[in-house]
Amino acid sequence: MDKHRRRARRDGRAGRAAKSLVVMDEGMAVCADSLRPKLAHAAPHVVTISHWNVEWLFDGRQDPSKSPYADCGEPCADKHLERIAAGLKNTVLNMANDGGRRVADIVHLAEVEDEQVLERLRDKLGDQSYKPLFVKGRDTSTGQDVAILSRVPVLGSPTRTDERSQIPLSGSGCGSGSAGSLSTGVSKNVVARFDLQKYRVTVVGAHLKAFPTQQQSCMQREGQAAVLADVVRGEISSGNEVIVLGDLNDFDGAIMDANDNQPTSRVLKMLKDVDNDGMDELENVMARLPKNERYTAWYDRNGDNEFDRSSTREISAIDHILVSKQLARYIVDVTFYHSIDPTSVSDHFPMSVTFDFEAGGDAKSPPASAASSESSPPSSSSTTSQPAKGGGGLWSSAGASKASTLAFALFVGSAVALLARVIF
């Protein structure tokens, strides 16, 4: 039984046996929200953009057979929704009010079922300032899609590309296997445009074909990258800055991840150098983190449902945020949130990039540690790159201890408030 089914069955048993406890948890969450100081979002010139593959965020109602909730249904799906909402609150939405982090303004999500589930997630977050942006995709196999929650007004309506590319591409290193239909599109993508300070920015979100080293998938993913590169070229030609982000299901051969994974495809190269002139138009923000912190996904290679944080064997970087060179000049923070438990929440980790458009636009090079080939155990905390304060180094690592302490305090406070309400 795969980990999705194990989790679904466990949730089903827990949901049936402790329904009243779930209700109590929700009541305590309300109390905690009332006790939490109101967050002031970052100044308008500071913008944070995030991505997270939320792993089968479905409603459990007539789900496709591949869904982990096809058997367990709504109780299991609802528990997963609660876990994802809590994960977002504790990471990219910064509802722990950690002053060292910014609240995400635009959040891209992968593996979302539909707009209704997206709205339920927004409601569970308790912040109506986030507008759901969703365009129905073409994935008939899983029914999964990509979506955006945004506090920044979108220009017009979000769109998607339905263009296709012939495969295999000329010069492909994927191998000589059959290409099947001989063409491919990007079944899960979204294109949305925003005004961020003085820049018109196009956000291209995507979830590409899985299995990084599988020959057939490699060919299909290169075709998908060709389609997205065409979109990026068009946006750049229109004078827009561009951000490409999502679960790209591939490795960046120019920037080694924590496990030294090497790509068999040219996907990341194609998406960074969209006109194939040898000069990258987009930068991978991962380069700004130390090598041992460059991982975004966990693969349970031995099937034991245990995440060994002391080893790099089961981790990789297949989610990416790529930004155009002009925008990259304003990056002040890159964070991969490794505090998420991949065995119970999602097998991917949230990630964010923050821009300060009053920072002067001075080009900032990745730190020396980012290019290091040194291997060390991955950290379980969130890793943040940010400008130095005073005479310290340019980059620092921020753990989750402050957030954990505050979360515990809120839990105790909410429990006391709930008990008082019951007694009196």
Q: Are 130 and 85 in contact (CB under 8 A)?
A: no
How many contiguous H segments (helices) and E segments (strands) does the chain have? 8, 16
Q: What is the pLDDT of residue 40?
A: 44
- 349: exposed, middle or buried (C-beta count within 10 Å: 0-12, 13-18, 19+)? buried
Q: Which helix (H) or strand (E) holds 229?
A: helix 215-237
Asked whether residue 360 carries a pLDDT value surpassing 50, the answer given is yes
Looking at residue 103, the DSSP 8-state letter turns out to be P
Per-position DSSP letters for 176-188, written without gaps between them? SS--TTSEEE-SS
Mean residue pLDDT of the chain comes to 82
Q: What is the pLDDT of residue 146?
A: 98
Asked whether residue 403 carries a pLDDT value surpassing 50, the answer given is no
Asked whether residue 373 carries a pLDDT value surpassing 50, the answer given is no
Q: What is the pLDDT of residue 309?
A: 86
The span from the CA of 339 to the CA of 329, in Å, is 28
Mean pLDDT value across residues 173-180: 70
Q: Are 39 and 97 in contact (CB under 8 A)?
A: yes
Q: What is the pLDDT of residue 6?
A: 58
Q: What is the pLDDT of residue 86?
A: 96
Four-residue CA torsion sign, 56, 60, 63, 68: positive
Token couple for 284: 């991978």
Mean pLDDT value across residues 88-92: 95
Asked whether residue 239 carries a pLDDT value surpassing 70, the answer given is yes
Of the candidate ranges 82-91, 96-105, 157-166, 274-283, the one whose mean pLDDT is the lowest: 96-105
Asked whether residue 366 carries a pLDDT value surpassing 90, the answer given is no
pLDDT digits (tens, 9 = 90+) for 115-129: 999 999 999 999 999
pLDDT digits (tens, 9 = 90+) for 27-60: 333 333 333 333 445 688 999 999 999 999 999 9
The span from the CA of 356 to the CA of 333, in Å, is 9
CA distances from 314 to 152, 281, 302 (A): 36, 31, 9
Q: Which residue has the higher pLDDT, 279 or 36?
A: 279
Q: Are 280 and 334 in contact (CB under 8 A)?
A: no
Q: Which helix (H) or strand (E) holds 205?
A: strand 199-207
| Domains in the chain: ranges and CATH | 3-423 (3.60.10.10)
Asked whether residue 12 carries a pLDDT value surpassing 60, the answer given is no
**Could you give phi then psi for residue 259, rounded to 5 degrees?**
-105, 10
Give the pairing of strands 297-298 and 189-196.
Answer: unpaired
Q: Which helix (H) or strand (E) holds 81?
A: helix 74-90
Q: What is the pLDDT of residue 196?
A: 97
Residue with tokens 């079922």: 113
Q: What percent of the chain has pLDDT over 90?
A: 68
CA distances from 74 to 8, 60, 67, 254, 343 (A): 10, 4, 12, 43, 20
**pTM for the model:** 0.82
